[in-house]
Amino acid sequence: MKKIAALTLLIAVSAIAQEHVTVIRNATVLTITNGRIEHGSVVMRGSKIAAVGPDSSISVPAGAAVIDAAGKFVMPGIIDSHSHTAVEGAVNEGSLANTGMVRIADVMTAEEIAAYRQLAGGTTTALILHGSANSIGGQSQIAKWKWGKPVSEWPIKDAPRTIKFALGENPKSANFRPPEGVPRQYPATRMGVEEVIRTSFTDARDYLAKWDEYEAKQKRGEPAIPPRRDLLMETMADILRGRIDVHSHCYRSDEILMLLNVAHDMGFHIKTLQHVLEGYKVAKEIAAAGTGAGTFIDWWGFKAEAYDAIPYNIALMTRSGVLTSVNSDSAELARRLNQDAAKAMKYGGLTADEALKLCTINPAKELGIDTRVGSIEVGKDADVVIWTGDPLSTYSRVETTFIEGEIYFDRSRDLEQRQQLAREKADRLKKEAEETAREKKDTKGRKKNG
Amino acid sequence: MKHGSLAALVCLVLSVPANGDAPGVYAITNGVVHPVSGPEISGGVVVIRVGLIESVGAGVAIPADATTIDAKGGHVYPGLVDAQTSAGFASPAPRPRRGEATTTTTERRESAPAINPTPAFIALESLKLSDDDADDWRRIGVTTIVTAPTTDIFNGQSVVLNLGSGEPAGNAIRSPAAMQISFNPRRRSTFPDSLMGVIAYLRQTFLDAQQHSAALAVYQRNPAGLTRPESSRSLDALAPVMRRDLPIVFLADSEEMIRRAQAIAREFNLRYIISGARQGYRMAGDLRDVPVLVSVKWPAPPATKEDREEQPLRVIRDRQLAPTTPSVLAKSGVSFALVSGAGKAGDYFRGIRKAIDNGLSADEALRATTLVPARIFGVDRQLGTLERGKIANVIISDKPIFAKDAKVMRVLVDGREVRLAEKEEAETAAASPAEGTWNLTVRMPSGSVSIVVTLHVENGRVTGNFSGDRGSGDIRDGTFDDSTLEFTISVKSDAEAGDWTFHGTVRDSNITGNVTTNLGTFEFSGSKSR
Amino acid sequence: MAKRVLSCFVAALLSMTLYAQSVIPNNPGVKPTFAIRNATIYPVTAAPIPNGTIVFSRGVITAVGTNVAVPSDAIVIDGSGLSVYPGLIDAGDKVGLTEISSVAGTVDTTEVGDLNPNARAEIAINPHSNLIPVTRANGITAVLSVPEGGIISGQSALIQLAGWTPAEMVIKSNAGMHIRFPRLRSAPLADQPQEEEAEKELRKTYTKDLDKLRDLFRDAQAYAKAAAAHAHRFNRDTILEALVPVVEGREPAMIEANLARDIRAALEFIDEFKLKAILVGAQDVKPLVPELKRRNIPVILGPILELPPREDDPYDLLFANAAALHEAGIKFAIRSNDDHNARNLPYHAAFCAAFGLPKDEALKAITIYPAQILGVDDRIGSLETGKIANIIVTDGDPLEIVTNVKRVFIGGEDITLQTRHTQLYEKFKARP
């Protein structure tokens, strides 16, 4: 027994000994939660941050890889609280008004170059959401862009379960024509959207009652037929039980209030409002509900419900006490969320610290993963990005992106790989052309003989 | 009626059994016999009696009542088994691929006739396989197929079908053979219209099947006081699947799709087979416990160089590694069959040969088209080898069956010889439509100018020469991409001297277009000389 | 109190005119003499002037430098700590032509059909669009407003972002003929090719589109000759008429092509018709640099903040193009090609600077270079005596997001920085 324990200890120790240690020195470290450190160091041991502080206070462990980041900035990996990257097939199961049974987790794909490009913009983590075609969409997935690893390693395993709701023009199919022969779908108004959500939870309560009844009968030893296990209703029930966080797409202030009311009536919580372009009009109410907001800074006027979108939205919500993040909803924008954060300084006067939080610790809190990511703190995941300069400057770019202590993007490595990949492509195409020519010749030869 | 009699006529002409209806007694002699169950036997004899194999060996006596088939230097094999086809069912409407816009042609195309398979759909009961269709397989030595539709999600229960004469029912070796499932989203706005919807739909359906069985069990034990469960053909049909009596065939090509199929199978403890498996080369280690039907319809490169160069390395790499899947699986000890999949019968052997070119041995290829598929579908006691007592599906080829120019000479199914109609092999590499000699007329202000050009096309590059009213010489800068032909000639006569660049569109044997000269641009037209 | 009254007034205005601009101009039509002193002045065409003075009067710049006499009637602005730049120029967007993208009734960018050379942006510019104040508030004082869609989309207009009528806004009408060069596919082949028949159809459509374009240009050439020969007794054709200045090389053909194959085809087309051309978009421009250089064709790059077209493309493909053109000595400008967010034009340029383009070149790519390419550098694009007083005053580098634009002058008029956005901001900041 003792022997086994000792052996286990030995294995544990050797595992630690093998852990890779990287130290970034001499950088401006933007910790997010504890201010900025000039001439600071970050020590990454294995997948975690082991130490952070002024260079003078940090000793470099033996065998550590040391990166001199003089003149450079280090910040935590950016978190995108609204992504549709790395999804195979449609992001919408658009056939029904409530498709809470479908799961993004089932269809994630690692063959998505957008993930790599986002790493090159310092983004490491995202909430991958179902689309907004229906009032209640599918279950979303929180994941890291572990480009090059099998997709099974991308999700953050213990992250909260989440689901997408959607209000307004999209679920009411305002800008969408059904295919020929398919009748217009319900709902077509914001009234209908509200009804769909309310009814879904009314049904879920009935569903739970049916199971309670069955279980009671079983307990009493009475014969009972098990009810149907309905994946949609199970999802709704889990929302009611607080086991799934709701992130809802919305634009107009009236529908924001509507959702907060329905949630209140039905007894569940809205974790965040997504897009929430008119959030500034009802910021008090959002703050009172303890609901977060993930929004764009720029996008306005692309549809009627976005006509009152203003770049000051983030500032107004932040000042009203709403936990706010800036997110992308776009594989392009997800490469530069730091810049959208900077715009919140320009429009409404957030401080640099507040701005940086918009794409780091705030979304981490909104997604319920802030104990792991979102700031440079000892014990957190070593998701760290080295920038050539201040990430709030438009002239800065990413040098290196780490996830859990491993390099997933590095500019110099990228430049080298370009050549290699181009060579491989040329070689393969050449080989293929030769093969095709040979095959053609063979076929011709056969025809002559035949 | 008209259609029916025509079919009957075709049947008469094409596939008259050699000895009327009754399967006779045959002795196949003088060939190299490949029993698959053992080493090859030079000069071996295969005796067939009333549809079954009576004996196989070197020194086997030829029965007195036997008709001798002299295989004279040829090769004798068990009939091949193509374990994944959709023969007998309309081919599905093509789907746009990821990243490709739906083109108008695809949209306009009528979708397949309304078979709406469900778990309860029995392929055997609905398949319509004309003798003509069957001949496509028999001609290449395939005497048994596994078939089911592929258009929906639950495609119903497939059948192992012998390609003999007569009604399908008489030819079924095993039905149901497997429950066939594809990850096909339905048309937009019909649940499930996304891949994630399909997976949720499968998960819910299997849960329902479990619940259905459980409910029935409770009810049947003692119905008193209980609400009667609804009856459901679909869920009843899934009962043997849930009991692991009937395997599922998941159509899955990419590694990620295969893993999705595996996750569902694990979640519900299902017995399953993977079909397609293009990216099997990436995950052989995780396929050791799963029978795999590797489709040999290998991805082909785009026709033009520009398209090829624009494609991602990922796709090119995959396209080139896909044909190594069989050899990689063979090395890892995975049980796999080679199937035509979504391909045409005519492409089956080309695909198999490509697998052989990529490291698979001919012996392994033979097992993967005979014994292994028979074993995967549980019919290896009847099919897959030349052994006493097995069904007399026997083929004779003039050369080893997978050799490049091998030809199948004789085919016996259920001990009856099938006479194959001679059919010209489809032109596989038709000459380019631009290839040949063209008589062109250019309409110039001064009158018509005649020019004869002879063109040779290779990989989109056009070479050749010209002669006529404006001198002669070689053409240059020639390109052709299926319809657009371009080339330049140098004209040396007087005012028109300079480069003439032809830009035309080829339709059948005609071409129309414009010539750009230093005098301006003029129309030209022409036709190919026969 | 005053504030409260103002917000009520603003609210009333909002409810009256939802889609029309409701900002109140500062001093409409007044173009007095201004002098900005003690500022760092960036003329763009010359070295920055620390502690400089710029004077402009009646809409025109009258003096720039350190030893500049300030006229006695001048309104003096203390520019301490501030920087003065020429107004930025967006070399291609849709400002003025669109209001709410999904509401067809508010969008005038895209005419029906493939060949619309006669469609002219200035006809449909809405001077009261809410996009105009939003764009100029970030320092953009002129944009090339471009029709889109089809093969020949129409003719753009270079407009300044202030004025009561389209005519007052137009700096140059018929600035260019916009041709979206036919493409085989809407996006490069990303997966295995589709079935053969669809591929054939694709090629057929592509060839047909090319033929259509060529045919129309040939017709236009013939038309131009015929029109010249029989100036009086001649049946006019609006479509061909619109192309005459293009085939005669007087108006630039602005040809949008992005993939190398399409740019090559576009160059052949340019050669064939001997066009005065500007290449637009040009995502794959790098391998074609020698070809462009040889023909002396300028390029309008952008949008820069867009994903590269192919999976295998370097992540910075679009960021790095400007540096390559600069090194090769090819004239280029940067456009946003945006509408609501054309205000982000300077950040498109900044990304190029982050990836190798010198910072001063990035600034030129949105000031003097577009002016040169569009043939209006005698009037706008730099701070020089005699040029139109399109001037912005900032608290820093306008290519930095965190920089604020403090003052905007267009045609010498002091332009309000109010926008629909600031109005809503003020209104809801005051919500009790």
The predicted-structure confidence for A50-64, as pLDDT tens digits, reads as follows 999 999 999 999 999
B117-121, B478-482, C174-178: range with lowest mean pLDDT: B478-482
pLDDT tens, residue by residue, B283-324: 999 999 999 999 999 998 998 888 899 999 999 999 999 999
The pLDDT value given to residue A312: 98
Contact B484 C203 (CB under 8 A): yes
**pTM metric for this prediction:** 0.88
The pLDDT value given to residue C76: 98
Q: What separation in angstroms does the CA of B58 have from each of B44, B109, C348? A: 4, 56, 81
Q: Say which residue the tokens 């669009």 belong to.
A: C129
The pLDDT value given to residue B436: 83
pLDDT tens, residue by residue, C159-215: 999 999 999 999 999 999 999 999 998 888 888 777 778 888 899 999 999 999 999
Closest-approach residue (CA) in chain C for A425: C312
Please tell me what DSSP assigns to residue C164: S
pLDDT tens, residue by residue, A339-357: 999 999 999 999 999 999 9
Q: How many CB pairs under 8 A join B and C?
A: 76
Q: Say which residue the tokens 């306008």 belong to.
A: C398
Closest-approach residue (CA) in chain B for C272: B516
- pLDDT(B92) > 70: no
H helix or E strand, kind and range, residue A193: helix A190-219
The pLDDT value given to residue C91: 98
H helix or E strand, kind and range, residue A438: helix A411-449
Question: How is residue B85 written in tokens?
Answer: 């086809």
pLDDT tens, residue by residue, A105-115: 999 999 999 99
The pLDDT value given to residue B431: 67
Q: Say which residue the tokens 């196989």 belong to.
A: B56
The pLDDT value given to residue B495: 62
pLDDT band at residue B7 under the 50/70/90 scheme:
very low
Distance from the B4 Cα atom to the nearest Cα atom in chain C, whole angstroms: 31
Q: Where are the beta strands (DSSP E) in C25-137?
A: 34-41, 49-57, 60-65, 75-78, 83-86, 88-93
Distance CA C266, CA C208 (A): 15
The pLDDT value given to residue C338: 98
Chain CA centroid to CA C428, Å:
33
Distance from the B105 Cα atom to the nearest Cα atom in chain C, whole angstroms: 6
Q: What separation in angstroms does the CA of B72 have from each of B32, B33, C406? A: 9, 11, 97
- pLDDT(B3) > 50: no
Radius of gyration for the alpha carbons in chain A, expressed in angstroms and rounded: 26
Contact A102 B199 (CB under 8 A): yes
* Set of chain C residues whose Cβ sits within 8 Å of the Cβ of B99: 187, 190-191
B200-214, B494-508, C42-56, C359-373: range with lowest mean pLDDT: B494-508
Contacts of B166 (CB under 8 A, 6+ apart): none
pLDDT in tens, chain C (432 residues): 333 334 444 444 444 345 667 788 998 989 999 999 999 999 999 999 999 999 999 999 999 999 999 999 999 999 999 999 999 999 999 999 999 999 999 999 999 999 999 999 999 999 999 999 999 999 999 999 999 999 999 999 999 999 999 999 999 999 999 999 999 988 888 887 777 788 888 999 999 999 999 999 999 999 999 888 877 667 789 999 999 999 999 999 999 999 999 999 999 999 999 999 999 999 999 999 999 999 999 999 999 999 999 999 999 999 999 999 999 999 999 999 999 999 999 999 999 999 999 999 999 999 999 999 999 999 999 999 999 999 999 999 999 999 999 999 999 999 999 999 999 999 999 999
**Helices (H) and strands (E) in chain C — how many of each?**
13, 16
* Set of chain B residues whose Cβ sits within 8 Å of the Cβ of A446: 404-405
Distance from the A312 Cα atom to the nearest Cα atom in chain C, whole angstroms: 6
Distance CA C121, CA C118 (A): 10
* pLDDT, mean of residues B227-238: 92
* Set of chain A residues whose Cβ sits within 8 Å of the Cβ of C346: 394
Contact B98 A88 (CB under 8 A): yes
Closest-approach residue (CA) in chain C for B523: C215
The answer to whether B187 contacts chain A (CB < 8 Å) is yes
pLDDT band at residue B94 under the 50/70/90 scheme:
very low
Distance CA C136, CA C132 (A): 6
Phi, psi of A437 (to 5 degrees): -60, -40
Distance CA B368, CA B352 (A): 10
* Set of chain B residues whose Cβ sits within 8 Å of the Cβ of C188: 310-311
Average pLDDT, chain B: 86
With contact defined as beta carbons under 8 Å apart, do B47 and B69 qualify? no
Distance CA B428, CA B126 (A): 32
Question: How is residue B176 written in tokens?
Answer: 């149901």
Mean pLDDT by 10 residues, chain A (450 residues): 48 60 98 98 98 97 96 98 97 94 98 97 98 96 98 97 97 80 86 97 97 96 93 98 98 98 97 98 98 97 97 98 98 98 98 98 98 98 98 98 98 96 96 86 58
* pLDDT, mean of residues B399-405: 93
* pLDDT, mean of residues B145-162: 94
Contacts of C8 (CB under 8 A, 6+ apart): none
With contact defined as beta carbons under 8 Å apart, do C16 and C408 qualify? no
The pLDDT value given to residue C229: 85
The pLDDT value given to residue C382: 98
The shortest CB-CB distance from A175 to any of C102, C312, C401 is to C102
Average pLDDT, chain A: 94
